[in-house]
């Protein structure tokens, strides 16, 4: 039997969230030139409870889990070429009780196939996708909870339980 998806983020630790943000920002702004608006979003009061932090600006409630209805939270951090990319945190049935992901936030836009800006837009989407993968891979290597880590552990557990 699989663990139930948590309905809150009570197990999220702020230090883990800070580590995820630091990795994201280092990769999204490799020259170290982080925009002031992003720096202000990262000015969190010391000792802040993670659940309280997530439910107030600069975090946004950006969706709900399809299985439990629990909230998914995002922090708009952008990157050197696109200001709308986000770090997402959502409850998940893993040991950490949550998952981290990057939402490129560029899939909602659509351009007419004949528009002159389409090649540049597609190139931006490719850039964002590669950066997303790089950030999530770095999180995974650091041991932070990502979908790839969850999937790998799930497969390993299922294989061990079936004698593989």
Residue 122's pLDDT is 87
pLDDT digits over 43-101, tens only?
A: 998 888 888 899 899 999 998 877 778 889 999 999 999 999 999 999 887 778 889 99
pLDDT digits over 131-154, tens only?
A: 999 999 999 999 999 988 888 877
Residue 2 has pLDDT above 70, yes or no: no
SS3 breakdown of the chain: % helix, strand, coil, rounded to 5? 40, 15, 45
Which whole-number Å values give the CA distances from 150 to 52, 95, 130, 156, in the listed order? 25, 9, 20, 10
Residue with tokens 């982080």: 34
Q: How many CB atoms lie within 10 A of CB 90?
A: 22
Supply the pTM of this predicted model.
Answer: 0.86
């Amino acid at each position: 039997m699989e663990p139930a998806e948590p309905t809150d983020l009570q197990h999220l630790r702020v230090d883990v969230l800070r580590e995820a943000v630091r990795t994201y920002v280092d990769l999204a702004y490799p020259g170290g030139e982080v925009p002031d608006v992003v720096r202000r979003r990262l000015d969190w009061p010391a000792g802040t409870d993670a659940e309280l932090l997530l439910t107030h600006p600069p975090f946004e409630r950006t969706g709900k889990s399809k299985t439990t209805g629990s909230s998914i939270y995002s922090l708009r951090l952008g990157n050197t070429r696109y200001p709308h990319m986000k770090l997402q945190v959502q409850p998940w049935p893993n040991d950490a009780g949550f998952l981290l992901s990057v939402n490129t936030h560029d899939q909602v836009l659509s351009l007419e196939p004949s528009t002159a800006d389409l090649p540049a837009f597609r190139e931006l989407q490719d850039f964002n996708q590669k950066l997303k993968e790089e950030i999530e891979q770095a999180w995974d290597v650091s041991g932070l909870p990502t979908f790839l880590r969850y999937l790998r552990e799930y497969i390993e557990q299922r294989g061990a339980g079936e004698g593989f």
